[in-house]
Chain A
Amino acid sequence: QKEVEQNSGPLSVPEGAIASLNCTYSDRGSQSFFWYRQYSGKSPELIMSIYSNGDKEDGRFTAQLNKASQYVSLLIRDSQPSDSATYLCAVQREYGNKLVFGAGTILRVKS
């Protein structure tokens, strides 16, 4: 079992729809969770950080964390073609030195 799992996609949504990206993790003691966006040929760019259970909203983005289910998600409302990218889920272990990245989900927003 991978430490951080994401559906590789591609996830295709029409412009204006809600895109839902999911991530599960195996280390139950993990405390810090991040979503990064990576355009093709570019570096990962931080979108959201979330540290406690519940929802965190920032503009069109909402991160949701459920530690009991070891599940973190990212919702993108009013999806735009410019949102087309690979979205990386990253989880910081409770102990140790490593931020573990998922393999990423490719999102395609069709106009």
Chain B
Amino acid sequence: DAGITQSPRYKITETGRQVTLMCHQTWSHSYMFWYRQDLGHGLRLIYYSAAADITDKGEVPDGYVVSRSKTENFPLTLESATRSQTSVYFCASSESLYQPQHFGDGTRLSIL
């Protein structure tokens, strides 16, 4: 079944470690997005990508790295995790910027 999948669903790690969250979509959507959702802040855009090899910063990019070598994959890497990056991370995709975004199930990340 077509859709957008995130892995892992849950992750616990320690400060200073590198963590990569995976996102895969089967719709062939051009745009992909990473958000974090925290109480009191709502959904905040971390990075987005308009196509393979085209990425750009969102509202809260510091401490995160993305890549998009293939249209269907958009991994998010925390190079040196900090406790402030404990959050729920959602990946989303859309056909264009003005079409609705569809979200994956999320990754709940805890950094101890």
For B74-112 the 0/1 string (1 means CB < 8 A from A) is: 000000000000000010000001111111111000000
A101 touching B98 in the complex, CB below 8 Å, given contacts A42-B105, A44-B103: no
Report how many A-B pairs have Cβ atoms within 8 Å. Answer: 43
Count of residues in B whose CB is under 8 Å from the partner chain? 19
Q: How far is the CA of A42 from the CA of B104 in the complex (A)?
A: 9
Asked whether A98 lies within 8 Å of B90 as measured between CB atoms, the reply is no
A97 touching B56 in the complex, CB below 8 Å, given contacts A103-B42, A104-B42: yes
Q: Give B4's nearest chain A residue, CB to CB.
A: A43
Asked whether A43 lies within 8 Å of B105 as measured between CB atoms, the reply is yes
Q: How far is the CA of A46 from the CA of B4 in the complex (A)?
A: 14
Q: How far is the CA of A100 from the CA of B18 in the complex (A)?
A: 29
Asked whether B100 lies within 8 Å of A34 as measured between CB atoms, the reply is yes
Q: How far is the CA of A95 from the CA of B59 in the complex (A)?
A: 15
Would you list 15 pairs from A and B whose C-beta atoms are within 8 A, ordered by A residue? A32-B98, A32-B99, A32-B100, A42-B106, A43-B90, A43-B103, A88-B42, A92-B98, A97-B97, A98-B59, A99-B97, A101-B42, A101-B43, A103-B42, A104-B42
Seen from chain A, the residues whose Cβ lies within 8 Å of a Cβ on chain B are 31-32, 34, 42-46, 49, 88, 90, 92, 97-99, 101-104
Seen from chain B, the residues whose Cβ lies within 8 Å of a Cβ on chain A are 33, 42-43, 45, 48, 56, 58-59, 90, 97-106
